[in-house]
Amino acid sequence: MADNVPITAGAGTSIAADDISSVFYQRVKFSLGADGVAVDAVAGAGAVSTGVQRMTLASDDPAVVALQAMQAATGAVLVPSAGTLVKGLTAAMTGTTSTAVTGMGAAGASLFNYITGIVVGNSHATVGTFVEFQDGSGGTTFFTVPAAAIYGGTSISLPTPLKQTSSNTALYVKNTTTGANVIVSVVGYTGA
């Protein structure tokens, strides 16, 4: 059976239709535009079938916001295209002196260190401490984590990166208590 249905308009006109179980459903072609203007809607391409309408979601669309929340929940971190992945480690710290996190040095002019993961371990049998993250040697403390005795410590995955306070400045850490035996590992990236 033919899909099109004849419409009598003077001499007769056919309209596009689809015959589904002997019921005709009119087929419609989408056009977009202001009053008096009609631009055919673009069909899909690539991974989307050519018969599927393509759409772009705005950044404040609830679906986009939900996807961003899911990304944050899984701990996945997107590194900006201009960023460079970095990782660093300290030697064992037993005093309260600022110690460089090797590999997390000065990032470069107008570039910052961004921290996405931290692992701190303290192997001392009785002395616990806090570990301060500093903006340069002896610089401003911008983050603190605990490191209990007997292999206590902290393991943090930061879905929202922790940005170091100053650009082009090395990352340093220090114990707040003398006697603890702490090693700090950090991962992240550098970027503007």
CA distance 142 to 171: 11
pLDDT tens for the chain, residues 1 to 192: 567 666 666 666 777 788 889 888 888 777 777 777 777 776 665 555 556 666 666 777 777 777 777 766 665 555 666 678 999 999 999 999 999 999 999 888 889 999 999 999 999 999 999 999 999 999 999 999 999 999 999 999 998 899 999 999 999 999 999 999 999 999 999 988
For 16, 27, 129, 191, the CA distances from 4, given in Å and listed in that order, are 5, 9, 81, 60
- Domains parsed from the chain with CATH numbers: 5-55 (no CATH), 84-191 (2.60.120)
Report phi then psi at 56, rounded to 5: -115, 130
| 61 conformational bin, left if phi > 0, alpha if psi -120 to 50, beta if neither | beta
Structure confidence by residue, pLDDT tens digits, 76-96? 555 666 678 999 999 999 999
Classify strands 99-100 and 171-175 as parallel, antiparallel or unpaired: antiparallel
Those residues whose C-beta lies under 8 Å from the C-beta of residue 143, and which sit 6 or more positions away, are 115, 132, 133, 162
Structure confidence by residue, pLDDT tens digits, 23-47? 888 887 777 777 777 777 766 655 5
